[in-house]
Amino acid sequence: MHIAIIGNGISGVTAARFIRKLSDHQITLISSETDHFFSRTALMYVYMGHMRYEDIKPYEDWFWKKNRIDLKRAYVSKIDTANKKLELQGQGELPYDKLIIASGSTPNKFGWPGQDLKRVQGMYSYQDLEGMEAASEGLKRAVIVGGGLIGIEMAEMFHSRHIPVTFLVREDSYWDGVLPGEESAMINRHIVENGLDLRLKTELKEIIDDGTGTASGVITNKGEKIDCQFVGLTAGVRPNIGFIKESAPSIETQKGILVDDYLETSEKEVYAIGDCAQIRTPLEGRRPIEAVWYTGKMMGESVAYTICGKPTPYVPRLWFNSAKFIDIEYQVYGTVLANPPENHTSLYWEHEDGRKSIRLVYDKHTSEIVGFNLMGVRYRHEVCEKWLEEKASIETVIQNLGLANFDPEFYKEYEADVVALYNKQTGKNLSLKKKRSLTDALRFLREKVSA
């Protein structure tokens, strides 16, 4: 059987690797972007000189041949589901038996005047990185539009080269659609203390053409004109499915490619995974499109089992994510909402340096823990997950909070402060029973297996 995979990102590659582990099927991994899989999340580090492109490839180049995964550098211009073949732009056709679409995302553009000028781009692909590199020489100012995770990465990139950055954020506070107020404010402060020009409640209205088809400035919704020679568009991403909508209308799409619980599209034996997939009936509390690394990985693994004869529904476990805002690390486990429902309340502790915080979200009626939000502090995924799955009570959690601490050795532990804060807020007299310890954490995790 020949399995073709469109896209050599984390989703497509995970699928290919697991199919190879489980079977002897022929696998072709197609991408128009690069010859080999690289970590998209690490593109910024190449620009900043932390790593070379070589270093962000998780597998050595010989890996693919050794594992009999055929690589094909080509653009799929058409999917012919009736005859089960792909049309590769300028490179003929490729028949397949089963098809996995893992074509990822593409940066959003909202019809701004000037959005297609030169030196106006997003930050998604290897080619985008090359574009930024080419534009950096002599760059006097960059304007970045959109306050999400990629926007702040782009800001940090330019900042590393001492290129002044103006950061336009439509919201009242950075990423406040996702981060609760205090954390969002912390990041605002951090952006400013790094010397970036943060403009909240400011939107892009128009990009100015310098007369040669190249950007020379922007005009904001406040009428201000900002001179710049580069405009970064980082107002989110959307599934990269243009080529499917045009060439294979029988594959049902909405925002993304619609898939069932087994990640199969409306066409039999055609699957979609990763950023480009839209789950028809997402699990409770989950969104139909979750464009993150981890879900792509899990979908790749699930679809591999399904294709290799062990039908496996895609059942992501608890939501988790992480990021780094310049120097502040961020981790989240479970449900932490910027605009929480009435029954959620949270215990929020912040360090006096204003760059670390711990937030525990719980149900105020049942006391069940529902989420952890950490800034500048690391928590153990498995421990948090276990508490969340068991719906442990907030008091159980905080008394054992040390079990979750994952900061390096000799780092100060703040769990006792969290307990003290809880006591102060509730008038109780709890104390911290567990400090940071691998042995204790593993014992705790073992209990699950026996219970």
Partner 1 sequence: MHLLQKIGLFLFVVALAIFTLSLGLDSYQLSPETLDISKEYQRQEVMDIAQQKGLLDKKYSSNFSFIADFKKVLKEAQASLDQKAQSGLPEGVSEWDFRMGDGDVKSILLQTTKASSTGPVANNPFLFWLLTIGLGILGGLLYILPKFIPLPGIKNNHIYHNSMTRGLKVNVRSVFLGLGIVGIILYGVFYMNNNLLWPLITLALVGLITWLVLYYEKQKTNNPTRSASPDITGWLGVITGIYLIGFYVLLYWSPHYMTAWILISDPISKVLSGNPASQWFLYGMLYTIVMLVMGIRMIAKYRHNNYQIIRTISVIFFQTAFAFLIPEIMVRMNQPYYDFKNIWPLNYSFFFDWNLNNLMNSGGLGLFMLVWGIVLAFIGVPVITYFYGKRWYCSWVCGCGGLAETLGDPYRQLSDKSVRAWKFERWIIHGVLVFAVVMTVMTLYTYFTGSYQVLFFNSDTVRTWYGFIIGAGFAGVVGTGFYPLMGNRTWCRFGCPLAAYLGLVQRFKSRFRITTNGGQCISCGNCSTYCEMGIDVRHYAQRGQDIVRSSCVGCGVCAAVCPRGVLRLENSALDVNTRTSELRAIHIGEGEVTLLQ
For binding to ligand FAD (CB under 6 A), which residues are involved?
Answer: 6-12, 30-33, 40-41, 43, 75-76, 102-105, 123-124, 149-150, 153, 240, 243, 274-275, 291-294, 296, 321, 323
Residues between 340 and 369 that touch partner 1 (CB under 8 A): none
Report the amino acid identity of residue 154: M
In the stretch 287-306, what mask flags binding to partner 1 with x, by CB under 8 A? ------xx--xx--xx--x-
Closest Cα to residue 423, out of 361, 314, 349?
Answer: 349
Q: By the 8 A CB rule, do 144 and 235 touch?
A: no
- Strand (E) or helix (H) holding 152: helix 149-160
Chosen from ligand FAD, partner 1, none, partner binding at 85 (C-beta under 5 to 8 Å by type): none
Pairing of strands 26-31, 2-6: parallel
Report the C-alpha gap between 330 and 148 in whole angstroms: 13
For CA atoms 432, 433, 435, 438, the dihedral sign is negative
The region of 73-81, 226-234, 274-282, 312-320 touching partner 1 under the rule CB under 8 A is: 312-320
Tokens, residue 322 = 């992480």
Q: By the 8 A CB rule, do 365 and 383 touch?
A: no
Least distance to ligand FAD, CB of residue 293, Å: 3
Chosen from partner 1, ligand FAD, none, partner binding at 150 (C-beta under 5 to 8 Å by type): ligand FAD
Nearer to partner 1, 75 or 293 (CB): 293
Nearer to partner 1, 75 or 305 (CB): 305
Closest Cα to residue 91, out of 78, 103, 101, 104?
Answer: 78
50 forms part of the interface with partner 1 (CB under 8 A) = yes
* Contact with partner 1 (CB under 8 A) among 23, 266, 322, 423: 322
In the stretch 122-161, what mask flags binding to partner 1 with x, by CB under 8 A? --------------------------------------x-
Least distance to partner 1, CB of residue 321, Å: 9
Least distance to ligand FAD, CB of residue 172, Å: 24
The region of 180-188, 223-231, 419-427, 435-443 touching partner 1 under the rule CB under 8 A is: 435-443
Nearer to partner 1, 109 or 448 (CB): 448
Chosen from partner 1, ligand FAD, none, partner binding at 187 (C-beta under 5 to 8 Å by type): none
Q: By the 8 A CB rule, do 264 and 270 touch?
A: yes
Q: By the 8 A CB rule, do 186 and 373 touch?
A: no
Pairing of strands 344-350, 357-363: antiparallel
Nearer to ligand FAD, 262 or 294 (CB): 294
Q: Which residue has the tokens 């940071």?
A: 436
Chosen from ligand FAD, partner 1, none, partner binding at 61 (C-beta under 5 to 8 Å by type): partner 1
* Contact with partner 1 (CB under 8 A) among 137, 284, 342, 409: 409
Chosen from partner 1, ligand FAD, none, partner binding at 329 (C-beta under 5 to 8 Å by type): partner 1
Report the C-alpha gap between 377 and 102 in whole angstroms: 33
* Contact with partner 1 (CB under 8 A) among 34, 91, 108, 194: 194
For CA atoms 223, 224, 229, 232, the dihedral sign is negative
Report the C-alpha gap between 11 and 102 in whole angstroms: 6
Q: Which residue has the tokens 């939501």?
A: 319
Angle between helices 181-193 and 149-160 (to 10 degrees): 20
Report the C-alpha gap between 190 and 318 in whole angstroms: 29
Least distance to ligand FAD, CB of residue 7, Å: 3
Report the C-alpha gap between 227 and 321 in whole angstroms: 36
Tokens, residue 33 = 């972007």
- Strand (E) or helix (H) holding 70: strand 69-73
Least distance to ligand FAD, CB of residue 291, Å: 5
Q: Which residues bind partner 1 (CB under 8 A)?
A: 10, 21-22, 39, 41-42, 45, 48-52, 54-58, 60-62, 66, 160, 193-194, 293-294, 297-298, 301-302, 305, 310-317, 320, 322-324, 326-327, 329, 331, 378, 380-382, 385, 406-412, 437-439, 442-443, 446
